[in-house]
Amino acid sequence: KPSIVWFRDDLRVADNPALRAAVDDGAAVALYVLDEESPGIRPHGGAARWWLHHSLTALREDLDKLGVPLLLRRGPAADVVRETTTAIGAGGLYWNRRYGSAERTVDAGIKAWAGDAGLHVSSFQASLLHEPWEVTTKTGGQYKVFTPFWRTVSAQDFRAPLAVPEAGHGFSGKLPAHDHLESWQLLPTTPDWSGGLAELWTPGAAAGHKRLATFVAGGLSNYSEGRNRPDTDGSSCLSPYLRWGELSPFEVWHALGSKRSESASIYASELGWREFCWHQYFHNPSLATANLRPEFDRFPWAWPGTNHNGSSNNGKHPGHESAPEELRAWQQGRTGFPMVDAGQRQLWQTGWMHNRVRMVAASFLVKNLGIHWQLGEQWFWDTLVDADPASNPANWQWVAGSGADASPFFRIFNPEAQRVKFDPQGKYVAHWIPEFGTPDYPEEIVDLKTTRAEALEAYKEMREVH
Ligand code: FAD
């Protein structure tokens, strides 16, 4: 009997334990389900849909070489997997594990059904270096602080990546009805805003491996300095490849070698932050919608003008009554603060923003505009090609001060000081804001000093209320 390999956030044929086990078992059919209906599953944003389209195209080519057909289906995953399994008479189901609560509920339901139906189900660890339920503090709980978390996780020996399976394990029977990728309409049309994304990125595992090799041979040696400089190619730009599982964290980890320079160790710990975000998400499924520190439920956000219990707090953060317009200015990169605006324009045009600038832009939204971090998180969710349901909210909560092991609220980035320090020759700003320094460039929409003082006052009030 053939088996089904259900692809999810692991769009690769190398270092794919589920695919490897399925082909070792005999003939295999690959399945990808676009599930926008199961309860609690967050639908992809626009930039992510663009990436997914191209990633599935690349995956199909790689699977073709192995003779494994890829079936695309849209719908609630539980129904689709059941139907497909029955239609091809599969004897087994293979997948790599995912870590969101809604996704795990779906998977558990399918596993129970398959068990009752006498099917064999195997799941594997592939997307994270650690299993969130296996790594616990001495008292058995979740880690809330990064350093001890990473010390524990990185002390493990991570398995070597698996090779691409040999060709010749494909399924040659009749395939059930399935969707054409085009019918999912993942690509933008009117308007088609994806030109800048296509210019910068080539989705798919082959391009991911190439970028990894180039980075390890080049930028890695200077990463400890280079990672902070948006005006250089100082970071790896591997985030979307890791997000979609075109590269596995095991591949990246081992590509760093065993004898590590300071830069390589810092880089490895960035992979650790990715793990830590997923650790938090696993233990806090509402990471994108609830403050990890509940006292932040009382924070008087200027906009939206209600707090957690629905009462209005408009006006509590003076001078911000026009927040929706300020939110738009932030999204469109016309706040008058060049570091923020350059970042937002880079994001809009390429689907990616440098980490340093993400921190500056996020801090500006939350602390200088007084706008709720969730609105920024949603914007990033829609515009980032690497948006994932763990790293995006965890980092927003880090910036807002409401998260685990977060940057304290009172540490407020000054976008001007950040610009002088990290874009000293103004190359980054000049690239993204050609009109900078001309009358066409917008005036500053807020006063940094006043808004900073207001934010600190609001924070103080939040802490004083019991
Ligand atoms: P590198 O510096 O080369 O780092 C290597 C890899 O480590 C990255 O590819 C990424 O997988 C991981 N990594 C590095 N920093 C972090 C971090 N702080 N948190 C989690 N993983 C990290 N990253 C995402 O992958 N998806 C997101 O949705 C996302 N949203 C963010 C939102 C905000 C407000 C902020 C401040 C950061 C966010 N990040 C997110 C983290 C970080 O900005 C990106 O991972 C990084 O910029 C990607 O570029 P790179 O691959 O060149 O990173």
Give the DSSP letter string of 287-340. Answer: TTTS-SSGGGGG---SBS-B-TTS-B-TTSSTT-TTHHHHHHHHHHT-SS-HHH
Mutate to test the pocket of ligand 1, among 280, 355, 371, 380 (most ligand atoms within 8 A of CB): 355
- Report residue 28 CA to chain centroid gap: 29
| pLDDT digit string, tens, across residues 347-403 | 999 999 999 999 999 999 999 999 999 999 999 999 999 999 999 999 999 999 999
Tokens of 222: 């200077």
pLDDT of residue 323: 54
Q: Please state the atom number of ligand 1 nearest to the C-alpha of residue 241.
A: 9
Tell me the one-letter amino acid at 457: E
Predicted ipTM > 0.95: yes
- Report residue 239 CA to chain centroid gap: 7
Report which protein residue has its CA nearest ligand 1's atom 29. 392
For residues 133, 272, 373, 458, the Cα torsion angle rounded to the nearest 10 degrees is: 100
444 inside domain: yes
Does ligand 1 come within 6 angstroms of the Cβ of 220? no
437 inside domain: yes
Give the distance (Å) from ligand 1 centre to CA of residue 229: 14
Tell me the one-letter amino acid at 257: G
Domain identity same for 116 and 133: no
Tokens of 116: 């009752």
How many Å apart are CA 379 and CA 17, to the nearest integer?
Answer: 34
183 inside domain: no
Domain identity same for 275 and 340: no
Tokens of 395: 């980092």
**Which three-class secondary structure string do you get for 101-135?**
HHHHHHHHHHHHHHHHCCCEEEEECCCCCCCCCCC
Does ligand 1 come within 6 angstroms of the Cβ of 359? yes
Domain identity same for 335 and 347: yes
Residue 140 sits in a domain whose CATH number is 1.25.40.80
How many Å apart are CA 17 and CA 48, to the nearest integer?
Answer: 24
Q: Which domain holds residue 140?
A: 128-156+204-283
Does ligand 1 come within 6 angstroms of the Cβ of 387? yes
**With 80 as the cut, is the pLDDT of residue 307 above it?**
no
Structurally, the chain folds into a number of domains equal to 3
Report which protein residue has its CA nearest ligand 1's atom 8. 239
Residue 118's contacts (CB-CB under 8 Å, 6 or more residues apart) are none
Domain identity same for 252 and 360: no
262, burial (CB in 10 Å: exposed 0-12, middle 13-18, buried 19+): exposed
Does ligand 1 come within 6 angstroms of the Cβ of 242? yes
Tokens of 238: 């591997």
Long-range contacts (CB closer than 8 Å, 24 or more residues apart) made by 84-87: 84/4, 84/29, 84/31, 84/176, 85/4, 85/114, 85/117, 85/119, 87/176
Domain identity same for 120 and 269: no
Domain identity same for 304 and 443: yes
Rounded to an integer, the average pLDDT of 45-60 is 98
38, burial (CB in 10 Å: exposed 0-12, middle 13-18, buried 19+): middle
Domain identity same for 80 and 142: no
Lowest-pLDDT choice from 67-76, 320-329, 415-424: 320-329
Give the distance (Å) from ligand 1 centre to CA of residue 355: 6
The owner of tokens 């087994």 is 92
Give the distance (Å) from ligand 1 centre to CA of residue 268: 12
**Which residues in 278-414 belong to E strands, given as ranges?**
none
Q: Please state the atom number of ligand 1 nearest to the C-alpha of residue 243.
A: 25
Q: Please state the atom number of ligand 1 nearest to the C-alpha of residue 277.
A: 20
Domain identity same for 239 and 143: yes
171 inside domain: no
Helices (H), 218-312: 223-226, 239-243, 249-255, 262-283
Residue 100 sits in a domain whose CATH number is 3.40.50.620
190 inside domain: no
Rounded to an integer, the average pLDDT of 332-339 is 98
Q: Please state the atom number of ligand 1 nearest to the C-alpha of residue 386.
A: 26
**Mean pLDDT score across all residues of the chain:** 94
404 inside domain: yes
Does ligand 1 come within 6 angstroms of the Cβ of 362? yes
Final residue of a domain: which of 252, 283, 314?
Answer: 283
Report which protein residue has its CA nearest ligand 1's atom 50. 237
Domain identity same for 50 and 95: yes
Rg (CA), the chain: 23
**With 80 as the cut, is the pLDDT of residue 309 above it?**
no
Does ligand 1 come within 6 angstroms of the Cβ of 246? no
Residue 310 sits in a domain whose CATH number is 1.10.579.10
Q: Please state the atom number of ligand 1 nearest to the C-alpha of residue 227.
A: 2
Domain identity same for 79 and 149: no
pLDDT of residue 168: 83
Mutate to test the pocket of ligand 1, among 239, 271, 413 (most ligand atoms within 8 A of CB): 239
Domain identity same for 241 and 358: no
Tokens of 335: 């706040």
**With 70 as the cut, is the pLDDT of residue 310 above it?**
no
Does ligand 1 come within 6 angstroms of the Cβ of 399? yes
The owner of tokens 């500053």 is 444
The owner of tokens 């880090």 is 398
Domain identity same for 300 and 447: yes
Measured at the alpha carbon of residue 38, what is the angle toward residues 1 and 297, in degrees to the nearest 5?
A: 140
348 inside domain: yes
pTM, 2 dp: 0.96
What pLDDT band is residue 320 in, cutting at 50, 70 and 90? very low
pLDDT of residue 305: 56
Tell me the one-letter amino acid at 313: N
186 inside domain: no
pLDDT of residue 303: 76
Q: Is the separation of the CB atoms in 451 and 413 below 8 Å? A: no
Final residue of a domain: which of 235, 264, 283?
Answer: 283
